[in-house]
C-alpha cells in the first residue's frame, strides 16, 4: 500500500483571529496521527478546521475529530469544522456525532459563529 500523506497548514482568520487548520488529503488510519499531533499542539481559544481538500474520512479520522472535540471542551475552547463534503457529513450524521460538532459551509460562517 502506498504511503499516504496529509498536509496541514495553519493560518489566522482575518475576522476573529481564530486559528484555521487547512487540511489536504484523506483523514484516515494512515494520516490521523499527524492530525492529532497538530490539534493537540494548538492552544488557540477558537479553532476552525477547514475540510475543503479532504475527500475522505474513515472511522479513525472520525475518532480523531471526536478527540479534538473532547479536548476543546475540556480546555474551554471553541471548535468548528468548515467546508465539509457530503461523504464526511454523511459519516458524521450516520454515527450521530453531528450533535457534537458545529459544521459550516464556509470558513467565514464558522468565524462568525465562534466569534
Q: Digits of tens for pLDDT over the chain (115 positions)? A: 456 889 999 999 876 678 999 999 999 999 999 999 999 999 889 999 999 999 999 999 999 999 999 999 999 999 999 999 998 899 999 999 989 888 999 999 999 998 7
Cell 497538530, located at residue: 38
Domain for residue 87, yes or no? yes
Domain for residue 110, yes or no? yes
Number of domains in the chain: 1
Domain for residue 96, yes or no? yes
- Reduce the DSSP state of residue 78 to 3 states and report it: strand
Domain for residue 2, yes or no? no
Please report, for the domain that includes residue 22, its CATH number: 3.30.750.24
Residues 47-60 have pLDDT tens digits of 999 999 999 999 99
Domain for residue 12, yes or no? yes
Q: Which pLDDT score, from 0 to 100, does residue 2 have?
A: 52
Q: Which pLDDT score, from 0 to 100, does residue 67 have?
A: 94
Domain for residue 13, yes or no? yes
Q: Domain range for residue 23?
A: 7-114
Q: Which pLDDT score, from 0 to 100, does residue 102 have?
A: 86
Domain for residue 1, yes or no? no
| Strand order across the beta sheet in which 19-24 lies | 7-12, 19-24, 46-53, 78-82, 103-104
Q: Which pLDDT score, from 0 to 100, does residue 1 have?
A: 44
Q: Which pLDDT score, from 0 to 100, does residue 54 have?
A: 95
Cell 456525532, located at residue: 97
pTM of the predicted model as reported, rounded to 2 decimal places: 0.91
Domain for residue 80, yes or no? yes
Q: Residues 66-104, buried b or exposed e (16+ Cβ, 10 A)?
A: eebbebbeeeebbbbbbbbeeebeebbeeeeeeeebbbb
Q: How far apart are CA 41 and CA 87, in angstroms?
A: 27
Amino acid at each position: 500500500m502506498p504511503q499516504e500523506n496529509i498536509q496541514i497548514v495553519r493560518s489566522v482568520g482575518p475576522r476573529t483571529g481564530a486559528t484555521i487548520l487547512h487540511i489536504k488529503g484523506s483523514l484516515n488510519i494512515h494520516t490521523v496521527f499527524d492530525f492529532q499531533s497538530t490539534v493537540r499542539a494548538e492552544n488557540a481559544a477558537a479553532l476552525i478546521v477547514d475540510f475543503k481538500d479532504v475527500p475522505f474520512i474513515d472511522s479513525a479520522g472520525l475518532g480523531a475529530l471526536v478527540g479534538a472535540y473532547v479536548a476543546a471542551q475540556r480546555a474551554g475552547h471553541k471548535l468548528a469544522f468548515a467546508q465539509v463534503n457530503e461523504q464526511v457529513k454523511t459519516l458524521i450524521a450516520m454515527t450521530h456525532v453531528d450533535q457534537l460538532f458545529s459544521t459550516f459551509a464556509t470558513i467565514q460562517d464558522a468565524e462568525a459563529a465562534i466569534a
